[in-house]
Chains A and B, each alone.
Chain A
Amino acid sequence: MGLWNAIAVGFKEIWAHKFRSLLTMLGIILGVSSLVAMSALVEGMEKGSREALVAVGGLQKFRIESQPVPVEQRHLRDFATGVTLGDVYAIQNNAPEVLKISPEMRLDPPPTIGANGKSVRTWSTAGVWPVQLEMMEHKLEHGRCFNEVDDELARSVCVIGTGIRDELWGNPDETGEEVIPIGRTLTVNGYPFTVIGMFERYESDSDRKARLLRKAEEEERRAKGLTNNVTGPKRMRGWNGNRRGGFAFWIKNNTVYMPLNTMWIKLLSGQTNRPSDKRLSEMEIKVRDVSKLELALSEIRNVMMVRHRGIEDFNFRTQEDWAEQINVFIKNARLSGGLIAGISLLVGGIGIMNIMLASISERIREIGIRKAVGAGALDIFTQIVVESTVIAVIGGLAGLVASYGLIQLIVAFTPTDNAPILTVGAMAMAFAASAVIGVLAGLFPALKAARMNVIQSLRYD
């Protein structure tokens, strides 16, 4: 019997038992759609994480920060200086693999930023060199950044992110008017600073889309004459915790940068016991070539070791750790999701096998007749395997369609920053898995049918 004949017979058999076949397919449909939906979700998460990684500078970048002296060097702790501005100059001069280096001085505890009768605390308040803007991928939208002169003269100027503006002068989405606070004054721990620049708003692609959509809808409502019936001031403060993946963007938006010297002279001096060497919270370093990251690290390590006289009071923090964490997380998510979807596919396969067994025991006589007129064991075997495969493949196709709906459903119920991404690879894999399961589920029933005795099955009632 040709394959086409077998497939035609398979379709006829499915059509003859529509409801039963549909129920059987349901298992495969659920399995395939959950597999595809899961992979789309993970794909979305991965994209979101990578976006966040790029937002903070990518793999080329790493950080050196102070750390407590290790146990075996405790007796030297009085000589430990931590990361200092002197280190920055030394690395600049002695490590050729370093492309950019940016020192950072922060206040601990985080300072209170005040203006307009409101106040906000943020960890991202730092004294930096202008190069920090390139380092952290900041983009100025309004005003200017401070320059070497501002740094030299320790002027009280600052550049802020939109998050700070939102907190102090109101969010344009809520107030309806955009405040550009250039020239206004804010206070950092009580010291007045002039805002001379503001960054653009950082957000993930999906956040931006969602925000623009909201805005467009609102404008449409206004155009129709409907008022925005907000009953009172809505207050959203800090990081809105249920928005996963947006943390990196939120931190970035809540930045307050001032010249390093300003931070040192006006806010920090007198706090350290060794004012002669300006202590940093950390420094950010960008290397020329990611592939030579190891070389750059050892160069810098040598410089640092010499300057610190062998005291390891500093620590390297590469983004590779983060990238690695992302990879591990994605792998785990994929594994657990795949496992669950795989189990549901397996259950679907068992359902098919079950129905095929029921089907052949109700067709014993038919099989006997087919054999009597000349069907070989292989013909019967093929027919049953093809039937179960046809069920599984139809179920798989339906599952692909269902997966689209499932993803929409998941998105509707759990709005995440990371929109799921439907990939052709995942769909192809899920479909192939359904076909394989169909074949496997058919094997045992097919073997049973092929082995049936002709005479006994002819006599069966």
Chain B
Amino acid sequence: MALLELRNVSKIYHLGGEEIRALDDVTLDIEAGEFCSIIGPSGSGKSTLMHILGCLDSPSRGTIKLDGVEIQKASTSQLAQIRNRKIGFVFQFFNLLPKLNVVQNVELPMIYSGVSGRERRERALKALELVELGNRLKNRPSQLSGGQQQRVAIARALVNDPKIIFADEPTGNLDTHTGEIILELFRNLSRQGRTVMLVTHNPEIAAVTPRRIEIRNGKIADKVDARLAGLDRKVAGAGAAAAH
């Protein structure tokens, strides 16, 4: 049984009487421990797919099983609970709360899962050690560099020990060097056996992941576009360099 099972999932929007299929009959399995990227051009539906996989949104049709539980019929508050317990998010724009300091930001998901104050602090510190930010606990996000902010976001994603981590263009807002560090962090997580899904349109990043899923016009492409997936020789070389 796969960790995530999508069967004939569609997401349909109605815009002025016109039907727009952001996702069209997608069937997909993601096994536990996979390190996988979702690629595709803008407007292809990859964000929609990530939102549905990440329980931020419900599909119009089809079934989704996460960890053996069907979730397509879940209410918004049930989805919130699933996001809280089983899913970690890393966003392109970090999405840290500017009024909270680093520890408080990392503690945020645990506040909603009812973890006691002391345990919250312990687990937040542990997660921050993992991303090597144990020395910036009391800083505000605005006092950190982009890479540091993204590491805080990763610590926050990890802190509730999720089944699966989604990263939406995690390096999109960072310079190349910092992006590599962040990417390395994800590879390490994958090596530790975590399931990580990257959404990106950057071929260099896609090249790092063993599995690539390409979305085109709301469907999963049969054959992955080599250039997009970073398998083109020239780009592949760069991707390999980035990986090392």
A contacts, CB < 8 Å to B? 1-2, 5, 12, 16, 365-366, 368-379, 454-455, 458
Contacts and interface: CB of A to CB of B under 8 A. Distances in A.
Given A1-B111, A5-B111, A454-B56, A366 B80 contact: no
Contacts of A454: 56-57
A141 B47 CA distance: 97
B114 to A, nearest CB: 7
B192 interface: no
Given A370-B97, A379-B80, 11 more contacts: A1-B112, A366-B99, A369-B95, A369-B108, A371-B80, A373-B109, A375-B112, A376-B76, A376-B80, A378-B77, A458-B91
A374 B111 CA distance: 9
A285 B81 CA distance: 79
Nearest to A454: B56
B156 interface: yes
Nearest to A12: B99
A376 B77 contact: yes
Interface string B141-177: 0000000000000001000100000000000000000
A379 B112 contact: yes
B51 interface: yes
Contacts of B114: 2
A175 B33 CA distance: 104
B85 interface: yes
B99 A16 contact: yes
A402 B113 CA distance: 41
A454 to B, nearest CB: 5
B85 A455 contact: no
Contacts of B109: 373-374
A379 B113 CA distance: 11
B84 interface: yes
A24 to B, nearest CB: 19
A369 B111 CA distance: 13
B120 to A, nearest CB: 10
A458 B111 contact: no
B21 interface: no
Given A16-B99, A379-B112, A374 B83 contact: yes
Interface in B66-110: 76-77, 80-81, 83-85, 89, 91, 95-97, 99, 108-109
A23 B77 CA distance: 35
14 contacts: A1-B112, A2-B114, A5-B111, A369-B95, A369-B97, A370-B97, A370-B112, A373-B108, A374-B85, A375-B84, A375-B112, A377-B77, A379-B80, A458-B91
A106 to B, nearest CB: 80
Nearest to A5: B111
A371 B89 CA distance: 11
A12 B112 CA distance: 18
A3 B155 CA distance: 26
B173 to A, nearest CB: 14
Contacts of B108: 369-370, 373
Contacts of A458: 56, 91, 95
A373 B89 contact: yes
**Most central of A5, A368, A369 by chain B CB within 10 Å:** A369
A286 to B, nearest CB: 71
A372 B83 contact: yes
A178 to B, nearest CB: 73
A146 to B, nearest CB: 85
A379 B111 CA distance: 10
B57 A373 contact: no
Contacts of A369: 95-97, 108
Contact of A455 (B51, B77, B84, B113): B51
A374 B76 contact: no
B57 A455 contact: yes
Given A12-B99, A455-B51, A377 B56 contact: no
Interface string B26-41: 0000000000000000
